[in-house]
Amino acid sequence: MPSYNIPLPFKGGARGGLRSRRLDASGAALRHDGGGLATLATHPLTPPLKGRGVLFFLLLALLFLAVPAFAQTFPPLTGRVVDAAKLLSPEQEAGLTAKLEQLEKQSGRQMVVATVPSLEDQPIEDYGYRLGRAWGIGDKKANDGLLLLIAPNERKVRIEVGYGLEPIVTDALSSVIIQRQILPRFRDGDMAGGIAAGADALVELLQLPPDQAEARAQKIVADDRKQQEGGVPVALIFWIVVLLFIVGSSIASRFGGGRRYRGGSGPIVLWGPGWGGGGDDHWGGGSGGGWGGGGGGFSGGGGSFGGGGSSGSW
């Protein structure tokens, strides 16, 4: 077994001072004690960089694992509508762009509608969060940006909300808009209609002053919750009343002896709540697409996102 001469402090005999200790390959320290050599202790010969080397390789491995997230590429922010998945016609894109431009002029809030051909194997929540931050949607101080993201190949949609808009566009409200306005149209194959309906609902809310917008958002969520909890819908009550009226009139005409009158204006058409109005009870009419052309250059204002919002699939 090889050994090494290493000067180490050693007190012994009358001299004291330093003597040379002999260490074998296993790190056993040997010294003279009277006669022969005797093993006193072991001092592992660990190179100083051995521990650091292991740590370095661990950090390097973690870095390689994290590369896909950092290397993720996003489409460039070319305008308020980035239709990378080609879901909108030029006229529809121009009309939606004009409406979002008007929203920013009126309220100072930035909203972007984006369609992407792929989420690059990322959950839409992570993709939307990173995309919103990469584009810097919204004012840097107010963080009042909003992103409507659609991924048709993965059949996913998300509303990503900037920090400053979270009191208005809450997670619950985002879910209501997705479930009531967007997804029904997507399931029918009307992608442009779903995008327009979702954008209209958000724009209508964001045009209001903060206090009014918060109150309206809370009412929309509360009404939706009541309906889901089993409250009797207004439309059902209406049609029950109509049915009772028809049945009562039929019985009266069969057994009664009164006169019968025939109107000359044809049948009477009755529309119940939510029928024939062109939209949900809480929202304005649909976007007819007659807004004119969109604005010119556009860039984000440095806004940030914290992961608020909601997602859905169809």
pLDDT in tens, the chain (314 residues): 555 555 555 455 444 444 445 555 555 555 555 555 444 445 554 555 566 766 776 776 666 555 444 556 899 999 999 999 999 999 999 999 999 999 999 999 999 999 999 999 999 999 999 999 999 999 989 999 999 999 999 999 999 999 999 999 999 999 999 999 999 999 999 999 999 999 999 999 999 999 999 999 999 999 999 888 765 556 667 778 888 878 777 776 666 554 443 444 444 444 344 433 344 445 554 443 333 333 345 667 677 788 899 999 99
User: Within a domain: residue 2?
Assistant: no
User: Within a domain: residue 110?
Assistant: yes
Does residue 202 contact residue 178 with C-beta atoms inside 8 Å? no
Give the count of domains, the chain.
1
User: Within a domain: residue 38?
Assistant: no
User: Within a domain: residue 135?
Assistant: yes
User: Within a domain: residue 244?
Assistant: no
List the domain range (segments joined by +) for residue 154. Answer: 81-229+302-313
User: Within a domain: residue 19?
Assistant: no
Which helix H or strand E contains 148, and what residues bound it? strand 145-151
Tell me the CATH number at 121.
Answer: 3.10.310.50
Does residue 94 contact residue 288 with C-beta atoms inside 8 Å? no
Q: Which two tokens stand for residue 116?
A: 């992407």
Name residues whose C-beta falls within 8 Å of residue 278's C-beta, 6 or more positions apart in sequence. Answer: 285, 286
User: Within a domain: residue 103?
Assistant: yes
Q: Is the whole-model pTM more than 0.75?
A: no
User: Within a domain: residue 308?
Assistant: yes
Dist. CA 221–CA 310, nearest whole Å? 13
